[in-house]
């Protein structure tokens, strides 16, 4: 990506000039899939051009870039490059930990009702495979008050000290339905207090919400096609350095060994199936990777970090602060939490009972408003290119959609 494009975008928030073919009048769906910016398109096109021209040598050209990206992702979340492994998506990162965790029969895992299934299904499969017990919590207590939710979590963790222990708590940094930002640092502190480990699904946070694994996060997985504004098929897994040694490499592939390429590069006698599995987070890199996807992610990440995640978050909150009261005045019920430290990039609403959900959603689409509908809610998720001036357009569109959808 050229420095000129970075400077162009960084000069002002709310400028969508890097998205010249984006058709939506207001694109408010970054919590689902972000549109592709010009720098991302250019990076992806460059990879394909190099592969078309050079084949294998194009691969060799782009491989060193992967280490730069690894370090940039580590900086984004407050870790080290050697603690980052590349995976194809958030789900695969979760599955890797669920299958490699050093479980003991009877261990207990805390999950949340209302989570996106990606952060539930792998733990359910691990529970069946390793004979674990799942302990469910409701997200509503955290939505009402972080203190209330933390109190409930501590009671569950404390109960594990008298019976089968709570080994792991799995949470999203930001909940996909309501946009509730979980109190991850305090949750991690409770986990440490009671001897549990903490897994974080960060796909609804990274790129728009400040996040630091240094608060006590043991594992974190995140894909690039939402708030990181890359494309699908590229993600990363963070493993805390003091946890890597206890993982069991059940998901290892040919690239998980030490010196996996020696037999391809250094002549005869290097084909050895007994090479040890790397004791680093990148042992999860089992085989061929999405070179195009990671080039795209690096381009989008460079842009976001040039703007600053703190500044991106502040811009989104200004947008939300302008939109929320106006939409509530029209009759929508906001699911945005009242406590500011629980807020994120998503602004979610319930429709009035008299409104037809299907007609309302179709009306917004017809008016060029791109949002999403997680489990019957209406979710708007702007990012740095969204202008505050779009709020007036959204309010008018919602008012019109309510008029045509009201029974």
The verdict on 260 and 355 lying in the same domain is no
| pLDDT at 4 > cutoff 70 | no
Number of domains into which the chain is organized: 2
Give the C-alpha separation, 160 to 332, whole Å: 41
pLDDT in tens, 69-125: 999 999 999 999 999 999 999 999 999 999 999 999 999 999 999 999 999 999 999
**Burial class of residue 84 (count of CB atoms within 10 Å of its CB; 0-12, 13-18, 19+):** buried
As a whole number, mean pLDDT of residues 15-44 equals 97
- What CATH number did the domain enclosing 396 receive? 3.90.1150.10
pLDDT in tens, 248-274: 999 999 888 888 787 878 888 888 888
Range from 79-83, 212-216, 266-270, 323-327 carrying the lowest mean pLDDT: 266-270
- For the chain, what is the mean pLDDT? 94
| pLDDT at 162 > cutoff 60 | no
pLDDT score of 8: 53
Of 393 and 65, the structure prediction assigns the larger pLDDT to 393
Question: Has residue 52 been placed in a domain?
Answer: no
User: What's the domain range around 129?
Assistant: 57-303
Taking each helix axis from N to C end, the angle separating 38-54 and 291-307, rounded to the nearest 10 degrees, works out to 150
Give the C-alpha separation, 208 to 221, whole Å: 15
DSSP, res 278: P
At which of 274, 303, 332 does a domain end?
303
| pLDDT at 354 > cutoff 80 | yes
The verdict on 226 and 240 lying in the same domain is yes
Question: Has residue 172 been placed in a domain?
Answer: yes
For the chain, the distance separating the N- and C-terminal CA atoms, rounded to the nearest angstrom, is: 50
Q: pLDDT band for position 11 (50/70/90)?
A: very low
């Amino acid at each position: 990506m050229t420095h000129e494009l970075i400077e162009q975008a960084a000069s002002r928030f709310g400028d969508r000039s890097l998205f010249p073919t984006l058709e939506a009048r207001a694109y408010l769906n970054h919590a689902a899939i972000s549109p592709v910016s010009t720098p991302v398109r250019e990076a992806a096109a460059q990879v394909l051009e190099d592969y078309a021209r050079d084949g294998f040598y194009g691969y060799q050209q782009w491989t060193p870039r992967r280490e730069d990206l690894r370090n940039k992702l580590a900086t984004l979340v407050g870790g080290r490059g050697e603690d980052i492994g590349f995976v194809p998506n958030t789900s695969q990162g979760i599955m890797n930990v669920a299958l490699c965790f050093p479980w003991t029969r009877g261990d207990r895992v805390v999950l949340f009702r209302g989570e996106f299934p990606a952060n539930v299904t792998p733990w359910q499969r691990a529970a069946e495979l390793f004979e674990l017990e799942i302990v469910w919590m409701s997200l509503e207590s955290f939505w009402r008050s972080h203190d209330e939710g933390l109190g409930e979590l501590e009671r569950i963790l404390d109960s594990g000290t008298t019976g089968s222990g709570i080994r792991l708590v799995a949470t999203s940094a930001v909940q996909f339905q309501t946009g509730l930002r979980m109190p991850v640092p305090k949750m991690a502190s409770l986990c440490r207090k009671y001897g549990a480990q903490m897994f974080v699904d960060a796909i609804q946070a990274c790129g728009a919400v400040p996040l630091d694994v240094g608060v006590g996060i043991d594992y974190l997985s995140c894909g690039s096609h939402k708030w990181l504004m890359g494309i699908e098929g590229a993600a990363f897994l963070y493993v805390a350095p003091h946890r890597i040694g206890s993982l069991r490499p059940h998901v290892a592939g040919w690239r998980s060994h030490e010196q996996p390429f020696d037999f391809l590069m250094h002549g005869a006698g290097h084909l050895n199936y007994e090479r040890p599995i790397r004791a680093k987070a990148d042992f999860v890199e089992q085989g061929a990777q999405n070179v195009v996807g990671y080039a795209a992610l690096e381009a989008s990440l460079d842009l976001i970090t040039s703007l600053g995640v703190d500044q991106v978050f502040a811009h989104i909150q200004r947008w939300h602060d302008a939109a929320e009261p106006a939409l509530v005045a029209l009759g929508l019920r906001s699911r945005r939490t009242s406590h500011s430290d629980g807020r994120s990039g998503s602004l979610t609403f319930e429709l009035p009972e008299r409104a037809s959900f299907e007609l309302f959603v179709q009306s917004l689409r017809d008016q060029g408003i791109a949002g999403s509908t997680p489990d019957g809610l209406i979710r708007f998720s702007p990012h740095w290119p969204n202008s505050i001036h779009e709020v007036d357009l959204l309010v008018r569109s919602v008012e019109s959609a309510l008029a045509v959808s009201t029974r």
